[in-house]
Amino acid sequence: MSGPRLLAGPDLGAGAEGYADHVRRLGPTTLAGRALIEALVRSGVTGRGGASFPAGLKWRALAATSKGSAVIVVNGAEGEPQSHKDRLLMRTRPHLILDGAFLAARTLRAASVVVYVGEEHRAAYAAMERALRERPEAERRVARMAAAPHRYVAGESSAAVHLIDGGIATPTTTPPHSRERGVAAAPTLMQNVETLAHIALIARYGDAWYRSMGRRGAAGTLMVTIAGGVKKPGVLEIEAGITIGEAVAMAGGLSEPAAAVLLGGYFGAWMPAVKAWELPLDAEALRAGGLGLGCGVIGVQPASRCGVCDTARIMRYLAEESSAQCGPCFFGLRALSDACSRVAERGTNRDDMARLKRWAVEVQGRGACKHPDGAVMFLRSALSTFSDEFASHPAHWRQQPA
């Protein structure tokens, strides 16, 4: 089989595939229990929320600690502003996601399933809620919806647990990790919606089938969002391991000359376009080069835009999205954002450049969650990718839409 897997089936424009159609098209899942966990380990399927952690290992660890009280959190918060793949999947293939969630519940002997969807993704939320109502009674009984507040950090796992338990989507101090002590103090499996959908197919066709797609040593398919300077921006399901250049060609090619690519969204990294075109879209290969796939956002930066101004705008956003709990994140990101904005608005000055470089290192690793780390890694990649622009930025804030 080639072509799309998660997005196979009825036309996406027709909206959510109903439960009866879904079951008729795909049939029941065949793998369960330990056999499923081992198939997931062999498949190499990794988390698609951003961390790219091997799902099989996560399930194995949880199977060992669950004593019938575990909780499955279906993570559809999708707080990354440029990412659209999770909401597209929820809107069109909700039952693939729920198959994965209830497989997890049975395999890991979970007591409940929480479907956690970004409140701003109204169509996706409604589709998941409707899909849940179509499931068999035994599944419906243990599942509920929870709305993720429209905040960048709401999808972070400790923040999700905090919201589900206490109504506030702010990260908490770890350890304990939610895997050991999560929702209602029970071991909790936090899994991105796309990951669960892949698992629903692996449970039908096996790990060898999963690995039968994928190039340059990568396995399976990936959902990515291609944004910015391409002719047909949007969500694509691609074969894992194709290059960024090949993915851009699938999105209709460049709409104008490109200068850089922001890979992985605001939690990701900038790189020069010429370097990006050759990079394979594969979490493992990217990690070997010190990069990350993140949630699969490929932002193509046209040469006509100013990288310094865009970086300043995104740093402002990330500073405002700090949950204001940890000093180094709250004060540090605000100071970094202010320094970036000064360079963007008034032009390069030596003091601000020195501060940016120093703070971008000092803030690293000093928050309860990874929000400050993501922000300074993003900034450091900007300082290196746009080093010429930062070194001699004129006093302007280029008027361009965000």
User: Residues interacting with another protein, by CB under 8 A?
Assistant: 172-173, 325-329, 331-332, 335, 359, 362-363, 366-368
Question: Between residues 135 and 342, which has the closer beta carbon with respect to another protein?
Answer: 342
Q: Kind and range of the H or E element at 322? A: none
Question: Between residues 275 and 366, which has the closer beta carbon with respect to another protein?
Answer: 366
Q: Closest approach of Cβ 153 to another protein, in Å?
A: 13
Q: Dig out the tokens for 122 from the structure.
A: 């109204």
Cα distances (Å, whole numbers) of residue 140 to 79, 105, 134, 260, 395: 26, 12, 8, 46, 58
Q: Closest approach of Cβ 74 to another protein, in Å?
A: 27
Q: Closest approach of Cβ 78 to another protein, in Å?
A: 25
Nearest to 126 by CA among 90, 102, 97, 100: 90
Nearest to 100 by CA among 144, 130, 55: 55
Scanning the structure block, which residue is given the tokens 């109502």? 133
Q: Closest approach of Cβ 151 to another protein, in Å?
A: 16
Cα distances (Å, whole numbers) of residue 112 to 53, 72, 138: 23, 6, 11
- 94, 127 contact by CB (below 8 A): yes
Question: Between residues 172 and 225, which has the closer beta carbon with respect to another protein?
Answer: 172
Question: Between residues 7 and 329, which has the closer beta carbon with respect to another protein?
Answer: 329
Return phi, psi of residue 173, to 5°.
-70, 130
Question: Between residues 317 and 331, which has the closer beta carbon with respect to another protein?
Answer: 331
Nearest to 248 by CA among 278, 221, 270, 271: 278
Question: Between residues 238 and 368, which has the closer beta carbon with respect to another protein?
Answer: 368
Return phi, psi of residue 213, to 5°.
-110, 155
Q: Closest approach of Cβ 343 to another protein, in Å?
A: 18
Q: Closest approach of Cβ 168 to another protein, in Å?
A: 12
Q: Kind and range of the H or E element at 228? A: strand 221-228
